[in-house]
Chain A
C-alpha cells in the first residue's frame, strides 16, 4: 500500500505571497491532519479534516486554511506569507483498522524569504 505523499517537497516563496501544499493520504484513510514543524516551536497541530469536513483546528491565524476533497486528498493554503511561516509542513493520514495511528508523509519544506 502506498504511503502518504506530499507535493511539492521543497518550496521557496517571498513574503506576502501565498502557497498551496498538497497531501494524498493512504488509500482508504479518511482523516488527514496537518502539522507545522519548526526548531523553535516544535510540532504544532494545524487542522484535521475528515470526510471533507474540518474536525479540529489548532491555534493558528486565519491565514492558514485547508480543505479536503471527496477522494480524501487534502490541500493547505497559507496566504500573505511571513518569514515565520518557514517550516516543515507535515501531513498525516489515519483510518482503517489502525484507528488513532497517524501515518506521516515526508513533508514539504517551505522557505519564506
Chain B
C-alpha cells in the first residue's frame, strides 16, 4: 500500500532559521507526493506536490520540498521560518487505485518561536 511516514511529532525552530519537516514514503511505482498545512480549526491547505520532473519542488508561502528517490524521502523546507508558519504539516501520497484520494502521514506540529 502507498504510505508516508513523518518521524517527528513536533519540530521547533527559531524565527529566521531554516526549517525542515521530514517525510519518507513507501510506494509501488512512481510516487505522487504532497504537502499540506493545517492551521487551528481550519481545513487543509495545499502547499506543493511532486509528480514528475525536477526533484526540487517550489510551493506556496516560500516552502519547497526535495524529492529523493534513493532515500525515499520528500522533506519540506523553508530557508527562513516565520512565526506565522507555526501549524500542523501533513505529508501525503496518492493512493494506489485510480482517483485523487490521498494517504496522509500522522502530521508534524511546527512551532516557530520569536
Contacts and interface: CB of A to CB of B under 8 A. Distances in A.
Co-complex (A, B): yes
B43 A100 contact: no
B23 to A, nearest CB: 14
Interface in A27-57: 31, 33, 35, 42-45, 48, 50, 55-56
Contacts, number: 65
Interface in B1-51: 32, 34, 36, 41-46, 49, 51
A64 interface: no
Q: Is the interface of A mostly helix, strand, loop or mixed?
A: strand
Contacts of A103: 46
Q: Is the interface of B mostly helix, strand, loop or mixed?
A: loop
Contact of A101 (B46, B101, B105): B46
The interface size bin for chain B is 20 to 34
B63 interface: no
Contacts of B58: none
B82 interface: no
Interface stretch (A13-21, A65-73, A74-82, A104-112): A104-112
B75 interface: no
B102 A102 contact: yes
Interface residues of A, number: 25
Contacts of A101: 34, 46, 49
A24 interface: no
A94 interface: yes
Interface of B: 32, 34, 36, 41-46, 49, 51, 90, 94-95, 97-107
Q: Which 6 A-B pairs have the closest CB atoms?
A: A104-B43, A43-B104, A94-B100, A104-B44, A55-B99, A42-B106
